[in-house]
Amino acid sequence: MEISAFADRLWKSLAQDPPARGAPKVYEAPEGTSLAELVAEVGRLAGRPRDIARDGFTDPSLTGRTGLPLTEAFGDELLELRGWARRAHWFGCGLVARPPGARVVLVVARREDPAAAGVPADASWAGKLRAVTGWEPMGPPTVDWDAVEAELGTALPGDYKEIADLFGEGSFDEYVDLIVPGDPHLGLVGWVRSYARHPDLWQPYSVHPAPGGLLPWGASEQEIDFVWRTGAEDPDDWPVYVHSYDEWQRFDCGTGEFLVRMLTDETFGFPTSRLAGHYFTPYEL
C-alpha cells in the first residue's frame, strides 16, 4: 500500500465523528512504511506538525490543548509522535515499539472545543483568538518588526504584530491565511510589492504606499482578500476591508477583533462562524 493510500484512511476518519473521549483510534501502517515520508504526506495538507514525542521522550508539558489525547492509546511503547488539530479531531503520525519491531501508526483522538471553557473577557484580541482556536505557540517570535516597518515605510497595527508573533504563518480554519513577514516573495513585504505592481486590481481604491492605500494582511483559497485601508495616523485605527469577486466590505475594527468575530459571530456573515472547534494550521516558513 502506498503512503498516500494509507494516509487516505486518516482523511476518511476525519470526515467521521471523533472517537469517544479517552479511546483514540490507531491504524498500523504496512511494514516498511517510513515515518518521515508519512509525516510529509500528511503535512502536505495539514501543515506543520507539533512534536508530541521524540526519541522515546513524551513532552511532559502536554495538555488537552497541545495533543495529550493522542498519547492515551500508548504507554512506554511510544517512540515518536507528530500531531495536528482540526475541529473535533486530534490526529498524528507516530512510531511505537511493538514486537517484533517498531511500527509506524496513524492515531486519531477526540479534540474538545477549545472555546467551550469561555474566552477571557480581559484578554487582548490576540489572546481571545488564541483561546478560540486552542493555539499554543510552537516557538519564540522571530520577526524583526523594526526592520519590516522600515522596509514598508509605515508602522503596522499592534494587534496584527501580536497575532503574527503568537501564531506565525498559517491558516485560521483553512479559510484565512495569515500573511506574515518572512519569505521575500510570499511574506508580507512580497505581498505588498505584488499589490503595488497591479494597482488596477484593487479599484476603486489605491494601494500602499499611496495615501490611504490598501495593505494586505490575509488571503484565502476562496479568492478573498483581507486588507487594511491605511490613512489613519495610528495604524491601530485602520479598518479592515474584505474583497471578494469585485465586491468590498468594510469592518470598523482591527485584525484581531475581525478574526475572532469571523470565527464566532454569525452576524459577520462568514461560514466559519457556524462551525465549532476552531483551529490554526501552521505552515513552514
Do 145 and 276 sit in the same domain of this protein? yes
pLDDT confidence of 140, banded at 50, 70, 90? confident
Do 151 and 24 sit in the same domain of this protein? no
Do 146 and 222 sit in the same domain of this protein? yes
Do 193 and 272 sit in the same domain of this protein? yes
Rounded CA-CA distance 52/63 in Å is 10
Do 153 and 104 sit in the same domain of this protein? no
Do 133 and 95 sit in the same domain of this protein? no
Domain at 151, CATH number = 3.40.1580
Domain that holds residue 231: 125-282
Q: Which amino acid is at 276?
A: A
Rounded CA-CA distance 188/182 in Å is 7
Task: Identify the bridge partners of residue 281 per DSSP, sorted by sequence position.
Answer: 171
pLDDT confidence of 139, banded at 50, 70, 90? confident
- The answer on pLDDT for 48 being more than 80 is yes
Do 84 and 152 sit in the same domain of this protein? no
Rounded CA-CA distance 227/13 in Å is 36
Do 154 and 92 sit in the same domain of this protein? no
CA dihedral 285, 95, 110, 121 (to 10 degrees): -40
Residue 184: the pLDDT is 65
Do 266 and 142 sit in the same domain of this protein? yes
When divided into structural domains, the chain yields a total of 2
Average confidence (pLDDT) over 223-238: 96
Domain contains 117: no
Do 48 and 129 sit in the same domain of this protein? no
